[in-house]
Structure 1
Amino acid sequence: MKWNRKSFGVKLWLYFAVFTAIIFGALWLLQTVFLQNFYNGMVMQNVQKVAEQVDQQRDSADLENTIDSLTYDNSLLIFLTDEQGNVFYSSDEHSYSYQENKTYYTADSEDDGNPYRSTDELLNWQIGAFRNLPQGYDFFLQSLSGSDDGTVGYPLESGDTYIYGMVLPASGADSNLLGGKEAVLYISTPLNTVNATVGILRILLIWVTLASLVVGLVIAFFIARRFGRPVSVISIQAKHMAGGNFEGTFEKGFCSELDELSDTLGQTAAELARAENFRRELLANVSHDLRTPLTMIRGYAEMVRDVSWDDAEKRDTDLAIIIREADRLTGLVNEILTYSELQSEHQPPEFEDVDIASTVQYIIGQFDPLCKQDGYHIEVLHAPCPKVKGDRKQLERVLYNLIDNAIHHTGNNGKIQVILKDLDVAVRIEVRDYGNGIPKDEFPYIWERYFTSKKRNGKGTGLGLAIVKEILVTHKAVFGVESDPDEGSMFWFELRK
C-alpha cells in the first residue's frame, strides 16, 4: 500500500489508529482519573447498606456474628455504643482471628481481655472495650445527635476514611447484647485502598496500551490494505474506461457496496460503449449525408459552368438540383442544431392552445411534393378534436419527424396513416407505417440519439426520434411505439387538453 494520505487505505488506517487511541485514552481516564471517585461512591453506598443490615438484625441473638461477618466481608470497623460512648460491641475485619479472646462491655464485667493493648494500658473510655474508640468519636456523637433523620455520613479531613453513623432505636427486646436499649452504630472504612490499585493499573495500562497500539496498527494496516485493494482495482479499471477501453468486467465479491459500484460502472461502461458506437455511426452517417449533397452541388455547379451555361433549360435543371441538395444539407444541419438546443434547455416551450387537427394538416401539406413525386399516400383519420396545450412550433417538429420517419420506413404500398383520437383528458395522435416493423430488442434504443435501425435500413443522423422524445418529455406527454415484424410500426403520443 503506497503512502498517500488521501488514499482510501491510508485514511482507513489513520481512522482506525485514531479510534484505537481514543478508546485507550478514554479507558486511561476512567481507570486512573475517575476510578477514585467511582470507588468512593460505591464504598459509601456499601457502608449504608451494611448499616441497614445491622439495624434489621439489632434484636437478633446472633447480632455479634452478623457484625463480624459484615466487617470481614467489607473491611469495616464497627462500634456499637450508647449515647455516652460506652461500648456494647466492636468488630473489624480481623475479629475472627481472636474470636476466643474478645470481650464486650456489660454492667458487671471486670475482664479486660483486649488483645490490642497491654495490661497496663488504659483505654480512652473504659475497661472491657474491644478496642480503643477512634479519634474524633465525640465529634461523631455530636454530629449524629444534631441529625434530623438519625444518620450521619462524612469523610475525614484527610480524605482517607469515610465515617457513617446511625441511631438504633430501643426495641424492648433483651435477647442480645443491646438488651433492647437504644444504641449508636459507628462504621468507618478506608478510602485510600484504591490508590495502590490505581498505581498498579497505571503501570499495567502503559504496557497494555503500547502493546495494543502496536498490534492494532498492524491489524489496521492489513485491514486497510484488504479494503483498499478492491477500491484501487476498480479505480484502475475506471481509468481504463476513461481512456476509451470499455471492455472487461469490474471486480466484485468483497462487499455489497463495492458490488453495487462495480455494477454501476459496468452499466456505465456498456452505455459509454454503445454511445461510442452511436457516435461513430453518426460520424459515418453525417459524413455520408454531408458528402453526398456537397459532391452533387460541386458536380452540378461545374456542369453549369462548363456545359449548360448557355442552355437555359439544362442550366435551370442543374440549378434546381443544386438548390435541392443545399436544402437537404441545411435540413441536416438544422436537425443537429435543434437537438442541441433542446438539450441545452435555452428555449423552454411556450404553451398555448393548439388546434392539433389543423397542425396535422399543415405538416402533411409540406410532404405533398414528395408524395406526388414518389407515390406516397398519407391518410388522415380523425373525429372532431379539441385544442391541446403545447408549443406550436415544437409540436410541428414532432409531427414532421414522425411522418418523415414513417415515409422512410413504410412498405411498397407507400401508405402512411395519421390518426387522431379524442380521449377523456387528452388527445392521442398515432402515426402508422406498413413497413418491416421494429425488432423487439431495439425498442429500448429507438428514442436515443444517433440510433438508426440496421434491420430497417436506417439512414440519417439518428436524431429524429431523439428530438421527438426531448420535446414530448418537456410537454410531459405520454408516448410510445407498437410494432410487429412485417406489419409496420405505430408511433403515438398523448397531449393534455
Structure 2
Amino acid sequence: MTRDTIVDQKSIRVKFWLYFSGMALFILLLLWLLQIVFINSFYKSMKIRDTEKVGRTVTRLFGKEDFEDTLLRYSFEKNLSLQVYNDRGGLVFPLNPLDYIYQPTISGDDFFTYFQPLLKNDKTEETYVADYKNENASTILYVSYLGEEAGQKYFLAVSANVDPVDSTVEILKDQLIIVSIISLMVAFILSLYLSSRLARPLSDMAKTARALGQGNYDVQFKEQDYTEINDLARTLNYATGELTDALEMRKDLIANVSHDFKTPLTVIKSYGEMIRDISGDNKELRDKHVQTIIEEADYLTHFVNDLLDLSRVESGLGQLNLDAVDLKALTEDVLCRFKNLERTGYTFLIHGKGSVVCDENKMRQVIYNFITNAVNYSTDKKQIDIYMIEQKDQITYCVRDYGRGMADGDQDKIWDRFYRGRDNHERQVVGTGLGLFICKNILDLHGFTYGVKSKLGDGSTFYFKCPKKTEEIE
C-alpha cells in the first residue's frame, strides 16, 4: 500500500472535513435534544414564564379604568383564565348574570391555601404547578395580591393548562429526520469541497518548494484567494530571491577568492623559481625577488584577515569596547601601513582633528578600508585627502580620492557583500575589495550614519558621522 492511498490524519483537508462535519452533527444533536427530548419541559417552563408575565402586568394595572377590559383581552389573546376574588373568597370578576344572584365563591381550603399565605407572609405573588396523575398534563396557577379598595382586599388568580405535546413531537421528529439527512449530506459535501479548496494552495506551494529544493531557483510561489496564503507566498518568494542572491554571492566569492589567491601564488612560485635558477648568486637581484615574494605574502595575509573579519561580522560576534579615541592620531597610525605606497607617488593629507567615543580597533579597520578603497580607485592624481570636520555636536570623517568615481546607481550597492568583486576582477594595489561591507556593519554597530558622494570621472568621498566626545570614558 503506497503512501498516497493512506488517509493522512494530520492533513488540513482531513482535519477541516472532520471539524466541519462534527460541527454539523453537534448542531443537529442540539436540535434533536431541544425539539424532541426536552420539548415538554421547555414548553412547561415557557408557559410558566408567560403566565407570570401576564399576571404581573395585570397586577400593575389594578385600579385603572380599563382594568376589566385588560383582563378580558389577556384571557382571549393568551388563552388564560383570569379571575379576581375579594378577601371573603367571593368572585368579583368575571361575572355572568346568574353569578350576581348566586355570588360564587372559592372553597375555604383553596382560599387559605393560595391567597391567605400572601397576607400572612407579606408576599405579593406566588406560582403553583400541579401535575395530573396518570397524565402528562399540568395546571399552572399564578396568584397575586392586587391591593385594597373600599375596605376590601382583592386577589388575582391566573390559571393555564399545560397540555401534552406528543402529537407535535411526532410531527417535529418526522421533519427533523428529513432535515438531518439533507443537512448532513450538504455538510459533508460542502466541508469536503472547502477543505480541498483550502488545502490546494498549500499543496501547490509544497510542490513548488520541492522544486526549489531540487535546484530550480526560477520557481514562483503563486498567490491565491486567501490573505494568509498570499502573505506566505510573498514571504517565500522573498526568501527565494534571497537564496538566489546568496548562491550568486557564493559563486562570486569562489571566483574572487580563486582569482585573488591564484595571482599572488603564481607570482610567489615564479619568483621562487627565478631565485633558484637565475638570481641565487646575485644579491641585489635576489633581494628584489625576495621582496616581491614578501609583498605577495602580505597581500595574502591581508586577504585572509579580511575574510576572517567578514566572518566575524556576519556571525554577529563583534562586541564594542568603547573608549575616547583621537581620530587624527588613529588616522596617522593607520597611514603607517601605506608607507610603501608613498614611494609610488601616493600622498596622504590630513585636515582637521577630533575626538570621539568608539571601539578603537574596529574604527581603525573602517579608516583603513576607506583609505584602501580610495587607493584602489585613484588614477593619475594619486592624492588622498582625509578630513575631520567638527560641528556643534558631531564630527564628519571624510576620505576623498580623485579617481574614476562611480555612477549614481552604484552608490547604494557598493555596501553590499562582494559587490565590487562581482563587477571587477582586476587585482588591486592594496586590500581585497571586501572592506566596505565590513565598514557598513561596524558603523551600524556603533549607530553612526555613513555614505558616499561620487561622480564619474571626479573621484569619490566616503564619510561617516559620529557624536563628538563630550566626557571622558572611565
Q: Compute the displacement of 1:164 (Å).
A: 0.8
Opposite residue 9 of structure 1, the aligned amino acid is R
Q: Which moved more, 1:401-410 or 1:148-157?
A: 148-157
Counterpart in the other structure of 1:478: 449
Query: Are 2:123 and 1:155 equivalent residues in the alignment?
Result: no
What is the SS of the residue equivalent to 2:418? coil
Counterpart in the other structure of 1:106: 100
Q: Is the 8 A contact 2:279 2:285 kept in 1?
A: yes
User: Could you report, residue by residue, the CA deviation over 1:349-376 in whole angstroms, capped at 9, with x for unpaired residues?
Assistant: 2111111101111112211212312x22
Query: Which runs of 5 or more residues in structure 1 are unaligned?
Result: 92-101, 110-125, 173-179
Counterpart CA distance in 2 for 1:445 and 1:134 is: 106
Q: Is the 8 A contact 1:436 1:456 kept in 2?
A: no
User: Could you report, residue by residue, the CA deviation over 1:179-209 in whole angstroms, capped at 9, with x for unpaired residues?
Assistant: x965443222234556765665566445534
Counterpart CA distance in 2 for 1:259 and 1:239 is: 19
What is the SS of the residue equivalent to 1:308? coil
Counterpart in the other structure of 1:165: 143
1:10 to 7, 14, 19: 14
1:378 to 348, 371, 378: 348
Distance 1:350 1:188, change over 3 A: same
What is the SS of the residue equivalent to 2:101? coil
What is the SS of the residue equivalent to 1:429? strand
**What's the TM-score once normalised by structure 1's chain length?**
0.79
Q: Is the 8 A contact 1:437 1:456 kept in 2?
A: no
> What RMSD, in angstroms, separates the aligned Cα atoms of the two structures?
3.5
Identity percentage over the alignment? 30
Q: Which moved more, 1:311-320 or 1:216-225?
A: 311-320
Task: Give the alignment of 1:363-374 within 5 angstroms.
Answer: 363-373=334-344
The alignment covers a number of residue pairs equal to: 456
Structure (1 or 2) with the larger CA radius of gyration: 1
Opposite residue 160 of structure 1, the aligned amino acid is S
Counterpart in the other structure of 2:437: 466
Opposite residue 412 of structure 1, the aligned amino acid is D
Q: Is the 8 A contact 2:84 2:156 kept in 1?
A: yes
Counterpart in the other structure of 2:472: none
Task: Give the alignment of 1:330-369 within 5 angstroms.
Answer: 330-369=301-340
Query: Are 2:366 and 1:398 equivalent residues in the alignment?
Result: yes
2:205 to 211, 234, 242: 234
Counterpart CA distance in 2 for 1:432 and 1:195 is: 100
Query: Which runs of 5 or more residues in structure 2 are unaligned?
Result: 470-474
Q: Is the 8 A contact 2:217 2:244 kept in 1?
A: yes
Counterpart CA distance in 2 for 1:50 and 1:104 is: 28
2:76 to 65, 72, 75: 72
Task: Give the alignment of 1:154-233 within 5 angstroms.
Answer: 154-156=128-130, 160-169=138-147, 171=149, 182-191=153-162, 193=164, 201=172, 204-205=175-176, 207-233=178-204
Counterpart CA distance in 2 for 1:399 and 1:194 is: 95
Query: Are 2:295 and 1:324 equivalent residues in the alignment?
Result: yes
What is the SS of the residue equivalent to 1:250? coil
The answer to which structure has the higher helix fraction is: 2
Counterpart in the other structure of 2:412: 444
Opposite residue 259 of structure 1, the aligned amino acid is N
What is the SS of the residue equivalent to 1:388? strand
Distance 1:492 1:224, change over 3 A: same
Q: Compute the displacement of 1:378 (Å).
A: 2.1
Q: Is the 8 A contact 1:88 1:105 kept in 2?
A: no
